[in-house]
Chain A
């Protein structure tokens, strides 16, 4: 079974600065997807960015980018020019492409989350 670990329970950053959130995972699969989700106090789960394991190029979405190190099984999220609206809980998640008997399609495994505080 896959596991996802976020070793930083809390992080803080000054507005306009850059912050990096860490995520490591354990898997024996070679093909999979990785995601970062944001959960503000409203509780809504918002997809921030995704990475396909077979692509070497790191994904980028505006101020959000990832550092995907497949061999090290590391998937960190970098937030540039941090804004007050970025304050939230951030979850790293893993998704198999193929599962045993086809029953693991779509199942996400989440890390424990990192609470990000943005200081004005």
Chain B
């Protein structure tokens, strides 16, 4: 079981370019979450997706950010026209479909560190 795979591990973009971050959930997991960690801060929730559905995007900035989790393939977090303030570590996590046992937490990937120059 490969765990949650995120790529790339490091990504450098110039201001104004687009950044695409990929996340492949654990096998059997159909829920994906994206979090952002600014330097010296905790993780902040961005978006929660199930296959082909955005369930909760209350933490997503209104502009330039989008996320998808298609029927086939990884989940993608897309940042258009990046600015220096987007520099952060972006984490993906996944969990299985479930009813009660939210208490198992979920499995995080190793994150993608985005640097905007």
- A residues within 8 Å of B by Cβ? 4, 33, 35, 37, 42-45, 47, 50, 52, 91, 95, 97, 99, 103-113
Q: Could you tell me if A111 and B108 are in contact, using CB atoms closer than 8 angstroms? A: no
* Complex A-B: 16 CB contacts under 8 Å: A43-B113, A44-B110, A44-B111, A45-B108, A52-B103, A95-B103, A103-B48, A103-B55, A105-B48, A106-B106, A107-B33, A107-B48, A107-B56, A108-B43, A110-B42, A110-B44
Q: Could you tell me if A42 and B110 are in contact, using CB atoms closer than 8 angstroms? A: yes
- B residues within 8 Å of A by Cβ? 31, 33, 35, 41-45, 48, 55-56, 58-59, 89, 91, 93, 95, 100, 102-106, 108, 110-111, 113
Taken together as a complex, chains A and B put the C-alpha atoms of A52 and B33 apart, in Å, by: 21
Known: A4-B42, A106-B48. 13 other contacts (CB 8 A): A43-B111, A47-B105, A50-B105, A105-B56, A105-B102, A107-B33, A107-B45, A107-B59, A108-B33, A108-B35, A108-B105, A111-B42, A113-B41
